[in-house]
Structure 1
Amino acid sequence: MAVVARMLVRRTLILIPLLLGVILFVFIIMRFSNNKPEYAYFQGANPTAEQIHQFQVENGLLDPLPVRYVRFVGDLLHGDMGTSVLTKAPVLDSVVTALPLTLQLTFLGLLVAVALALIFGVTAAIFRDRWPDQLIRLVSLIGVAAPAFWLALLMIQWLAVDRGWFPTSGYINPGDSFSGWLRSMTLPALSLSLPVAAQLTRIIRTSMVEELDKDYVRTAIGSGLPPIVVIGRNVLRNALINPLTVLGLRIGYLLGGAVVIETIYSLPGMGQLMINGVRDGDPAVVQGVVLTIATGFVVVNLVVDVLYLLINPRIRSAA
């Protein structure tokens, strides 16, 4: 546990300059974009040059860029992501309202992706080079090549419009109706998870095949242990070490991909919030959403690194 604690402290310290770099990148991009706060604030009006100048002075928009960056970081440390120039509401409040739905969608997508990848990856490895393996490899290859937004449109047409099994869009709170919530989240979760499941299936299949070829597996089975016990207790655990590393990056993909899927299915999550911010020319909202997603991606990868250390004794010994 001491090794894990040291690694956690080390990785956390590395996160500080990484997050500062992410904040700097987003800050600079937003400052050079066409979405200017003064234009959004006077949207629909014809402000004079004096009014625009007064707004810029009051909000510190004419200060040097380094000064504005330091002030922005200081505000973030105090939990202030800025204020929407349109709604006059704190961006943090909007993010807190929208983030739970994005996390729900990401979590459901992760569950579906991992479940499908385990089932098909292990099956393909057990029936290596036979027709189940070849079929699974073909389908997974198609799944890797299929973009999530294209799958979303197909599912809406086939399962929602043609058959009416699921709603085409909208969100139902689980507190109001759990079954309604599940129906409203099924298609978005499937659309988001299938490409990730296809990638993980191929990785798990490869790891399982390599592990099944090792001497200890043949020895265990030759000594009389049932193959299902050897595979479930030893082979699967050792084979999941490499896919776990890839899973960390895929969780980041799920979190970012949820933004696109939410827009397609009209879910009031972070995706809709960011699209509205871009459409309305509200840079503070866009900046808050991007920073939240980027921070979530970094934190998820830190957690995966720690889990990788916990389940891999060789890495732990080397550390």
Structure 2
Amino acid sequence: MRVFVRLALRRLLVLPVMLLGVSMLVFVVLQFSPNDPAYNALGVGASAEARAAYAAEHGLDQPLPVQYVRFLGQLLQGDLGMTAPPATPVSERIADAFPLTLQLTLLGMGGAIVFALAMGLAGALWRDRWPDQVTRVVSIACIALPPFWLAILLIQQFSLGLGLFPTGGYVPPEDSIWKWLVALTLPAASVAVPIGAQLSRLVRTSMVEELDRDYVRTATGNGLPRWLVLRGALRNALITPMTVLGWRFGYAMGGAVVIETIFNLPGMGQLLLIGVTNGDVALVQGAVLTVAIALLVVNLVIDLLYVVVNPRIREV
């Protein structure tokens, strides 16, 4: 428990510095956007004087460091600015869209973990036999599938072909858990399969290495139950896949943003598409910053899970 608390304190102390760096990076990159916030806010017919007045009112004529300090102050107050007309707080738009993206990402990662464990353990326990060969071929084929193409194939087969799932749309879980799950099954599968295939190879390799270690042979020779030996080996084998799991979460969230557009889901993907299409810098800036912060928090959680999986870890 002491190690867990010490690790959590270390990560929490570093987190504000990382958040500051992310906010600075997002702010600077979007300053190179050719879109004029004053033009977007006031419309096509706005005069040069009106745009200059808008820029002065919102500090857009100030030096970049001054604009960033102002942006950071607003950010600390939870103010991400206003969208282009119709003017709506960016924080409200994100509050409506982000839960769906998070739901899709978590479902996709859950499916990926189940897929990876099933395929990886089958390959490790029957290595160099036909189950191992089958899982290898399936995993390589799934890794080669782009998520957006897999989404289109799933729609053609299971929606248009068999009619088992809708082609798009979203039902909130508070309205119907079953309809919510049905609506997100194909999008989650599109996210889960490529990531699960990648993780399955890591699970298989790590598990094979653990099964070849002396402590496994000793425990087996002493008559310990097979399931108990495998549980201990799996716990040690999960360290490397968990490291990659944090990186893959970012990939899953980015993939979810693309998948949302294909399935017409009102998440962060649709929000970013609207922001880019309309040249709405504030909306794009808020959406990108929200996703980046979410990824930092997830990586913090993954770091803390190291100790839960393997208490012997002392240095991180």
Q: Which category of TM-score, normalised to the shorter sequence, fits these structures?
A: over 0.9
Q: What CA distance in whole angstroms lies between the structure 2 residues aligned with 1:24 and 1:159? A: 44
- The equivalent residue for 2:8 is 8
Alignment pair present for 1:221 and 2:220: yes
Q: Is the 8 A contact 1:106 1:254 kept in 2?
A: yes
Aligned counterpart for 1:310 among listed residues 304, 308, 312: 308
TM-superposed deviation, 1:224: 2.3
TM-superposed deviation, 1:228: 2.7
- The equivalent residue for 2:191 is 192
Counterparts of 1:148-227 in structure 2 under 5 Å? Answer: 148-227=147-226
- The equivalent residue for 1:24 is 24
**Letter of the structure 2 residue corresponding to residue 10 of structure 1:** R
Q: What CA distance in whole angstroms lies between the structure 1 residues aligned with 2:57 and 2:254? A: 34
TM-superposed deviation, 1:127: 0.5
For residues 80-120 of structure 1, the C-alpha deviation after alignment (integer angstroms, 9 at most, x for no partner) is 11111322211111111111111110111111111111111
- The equivalent residue for 2:56 is 57
Q: What CA distance in whole angstroms lies between the structure 1 residues aligned with 2:67 and 2:2? A: 41
Q: Is the 8 A contact 1:35 1:278 kept in 2?
A: no
| TM-score, L = length of structure 1 | 0.95
Counterparts of 1:274-313 in structure 2 under 5 Å? Answer: 274-313=272-311
Counterparts of 1:61-140 in structure 2 under 5 Å? Answer: 61-140=60-139
Aligned-CA RMSD value: 1.4
Question: Which deviates more, 263-272 or 14-23?
Answer: 14-23
Counterparts of 1:235-246 in structure 2 under 5 Å? Answer: 235-246=233-244
SS at match of 2:78: coil
Q: Is the 8 A contact 1:39 1:281 kept in 2?
A: no
5+ residue gaps, structure 2: none
TM-superposed deviation, 1:234: 1.0
Identity of aligned residues (%): 54
- The equivalent residue for 1:35 is 35
How many residues are paired up? Answer: 316
For residues 200-250 of structure 1, the C-alpha deviation after alignment (integer angstroms, 9 at most, x for no partner) is 10000001000111112122222223323321x311111111111111111
TM-superposed deviation, 1:276: 0.6
Q: Is the 8 A contact 1:160 1:166 kept in 2?
A: yes
TM-superposed deviation, 1:190: 0.1
Q: What CA distance in whole angstroms lies between the structure 2 residues aligned with 1:310 and 1:190? A: 28
- The equivalent residue for 1:255 is 253
Question: Which deviates more, 53-62 or 10-19?
Answer: 10-19
Q: What CA distance in whole angstroms lies between the structure 1 residues aligned with 2:263 and 2:36? A: 29
Q: What CA distance in whole angstroms lies between the structure 1 residues aligned with 2:160 and 2:290? A: 34
**Letter of the structure 1 residue corresponding to residue 35 of structure 2:** N
**Letter of the structure 1 residue corresponding to residue 29 of structure 2:** I
TM-superposed deviation, 1:77: 0.7
Question: Which deviates more, 195-204 or 255-264?
Answer: 255-264
| TM-score, L = length of structure 2 | 0.96
